[in-house]
Amino acid sequence: MIPDDRPALSVVVPAFDEAEVLPVLAGRLRPVLDALVADGLGGYEVLVVDDGSADATPVVLARLRRDWPQLRVVRLRTNSGHQAALSAGLARARGRTGVVTMDADLQDPPEVLPRLLAAAEEGHDVVYAVRRDRSVDSPAKRLTAAAFYRLVRALGGRAPEQAGDFRFTTRVVVDTVLQLPEAHRVLRLVIPDLGFTSTTVGYVREARGAGRTKYPLARMLRLSLDAITGSSTAPLRLATFFGLGGAVLTSLLLLYAIVSFVAGRTVPGWTSTLAVVAGVGTLQLLCLGVLGEYVGRLYVQLQNRPTYLVASDSLEESRQTRT
Ligand code: UDP
Ligand code: MG
C-alpha cells in the first residue's frame, strides 16, 4: 500500500496582495500549529492561495517556505476573488481530518484555531468562528453586513450569525462542497445548507494586521448578488409579483380610459400618460434586471469556465525535484 503522507489538517489561507501581513501571520500561526502537533495532531499543511497578487506576496511566501516545510503555496494565474481562492484551496487541501479556512490579514486570530479543533472533536462536522465583537470594523461595514445577512435570511438562506469564512470543516464536508457544480458558490451560505452538524466558537475580531481591505464596495456588492441569487430564487418571484401588480394597475387605467371614452370624456393631459409610461418602463427594467441576473448565472454555468486557474503549487514542484 502507498503510505499516506497527507497531513491531518490543512489550513487554507487566501491572500491577495498581503506581502506586509504574511510574515506576521506566519509568526503567529506556526507556534499554534506546532503546539497542536506536539499535542498529538497528525501533521498539518498551511496552504496559502496567492490570488494573483501583484505585490511582493510571491517573494515573501517563497522566503517563508525556506524554513517552514509545512507551508504550501498555490498561486492562481489571475486575481479571481476571495471565494474562488477559497475554492481553489479546498480543492487542493490534503488534510485527512479536515480543513480550517481563515483570512490572511490576522482579522481571524490564529490563536482561535485550537478551540475550533477542540469543538470539532466533540463530534461536529462544521465549527464556525463567530465574531463576538466587531468594534474594529467600520460602522459602515457592520451596517452593510447586518443588512446583507438579514436579507439573505429573509430570502430563506441559512447564514450563521456573524460568521465569515473562518471555520473548520471535516473532510466529508469539504468533499461534499467540492461536488457542488455551482460556479459562484458563496461558501459561508452553501455550507449551512448541507445539513451537517455544526457549532460555533466565539472570538473577538481584530483589526487588519497591515495593508488595506481587498473588499471595496464593488466587490461587496458582487458577493451580495452572488449570495442572494445563489441562495434563493425569491427575487425572480418578486419580479413576477411586480409584473402582476403592474398589470393590474395598467388594466384599471385602461378600463378607466375606455369608460371615459364611452362617456364622451377625453382623458385630460399627458401627465398621466407619462406617469404610466414611466411606471411601466421602470417595472420592466426592474424585472429585466432580475431576470438578467439569473440568465447571467446560467450563462456562466453553461460556459463551465473554471472560476480559477492554478499557476503553480509548491507541493507538486517539490515532488518533482525529489524524483
Ligand atoms: N482576498 C483574496 N482575493 C481577493 C480579495 C481578498 O484572496 O480578490 C483575501 C484577502 O487577502 C484576505 C481575505 O480574502 O485574506 C479577506 O479579504 P479582506 O481582509 O481584504 O476583506 P475584509 O476583511 O476587509 O472584509
Ligand atoms: Mg480582512
Please tell me the distance from the alpha carbon of residue 296 to that of residue 281, in angstroms, as a whole number: 22
Q: Could you tell me if 141 and 197 lie in one domain?
A: yes
Q: Could you tell me if 105 and 239 lie in one domain?
A: no
Name the domain count of the chain.
2
Domain range holding 244?
Answer: 235-303
Rounded to whole angstroms, what are the CA distances from 300 to 109, 247, 303?
A: 35, 32, 5
Q: Could you tell me if 137 and 216 lie in one domain?
A: yes
Q: Could you tell me if 271 and 151 lie in one domain?
A: no
Q: Residue with the nearest Cα to atom 24 of ligand 1?
A: 213
**Is 309 domain-assigned?**
no
Show which of 230, 258, 283 is a domain's final residue: 230
Q: Could you tell me if 191 and 277 lie in one domain?
A: no
Q: Could you tell me if 165 and 248 lie in one domain?
A: no
To test ligand 1's pocket by mutation, which of 11, 12, 16 has the most ligand atoms within 8 angstroms of CB? 16
Please tell me the distance from the alpha carbon of residue 240 to that of residue 219, in angstroms, as a whole number: 28
Closest CA to 43 of 72, 20, 23, 18: 72
Q: 265: exposed, middle or buried (C-beta count within 10 Å: 0-12, 13-18, 19+)?
A: exposed
Do 204 and 66 contact (CB within 8 A), yes or no?
A: no
Q: Please, how many CA atoms are within 13 Å of residue 23, restricted to the half-sphere of its CB?
A: 8
Show which of 198, 230, 262 is a domain's final residue: 230
Q: Could you tell me if 147 and 167 lie in one domain?
A: yes
- Residue 73 pairs in a beta bridge with 48
Please tell me the distance from the alpha carbon of residue 27 to that of residue 263, in angstroms, as a whole number: 85
**Is 310 domain-assigned?**
no
Digit-coded pLDDT (tens) for 132-185: 887 888 888 888 888 888 888 887 777 787 888 999 999 999 999 998 877 777
Show which of 230, 246, 266 is a domain's final residue: 230
Residues 221-232, mean pLDDT to the nearest whole number: 80
165 CB less than 6 Å from ligand 1? no
184 CB less than 6 Å from ligand 1? no
**Is 179 domain-assigned?**
yes
Q: 284: exposed, middle or buried (C-beta count within 10 Å: 0-12, 13-18, 19+)?
A: middle
- The ipTM estimated for the assembled molecules is 0.97
Digit-coded pLDDT (tens) for 213-226: 888 788 888 888 88
Q: What is the DSSP letter of 267?
A: P
Q: Could you tell me if 189 and 269 lie in one domain?
A: no
Q: Could you tell me if 131 and 40 lie in one domain?
A: yes
Q: Which residues of 308-323 are buried (b: 16+ CB within 10 A; e: fewer)?
A: beeeebbeeeeeeeee
Q: What pLDDT is stored for residue 266 in this prediction?
A: 65
CA of 320 to the centre of ligand 2 (A): 35
Which pLDDT band, with edges at 50, 70 and 90, does 298 fall under?
confident
Cell for 197? 452538524
pTM of the full structure: 0.83
Closest CA to 122 of 198, 196, 176, 188: 198
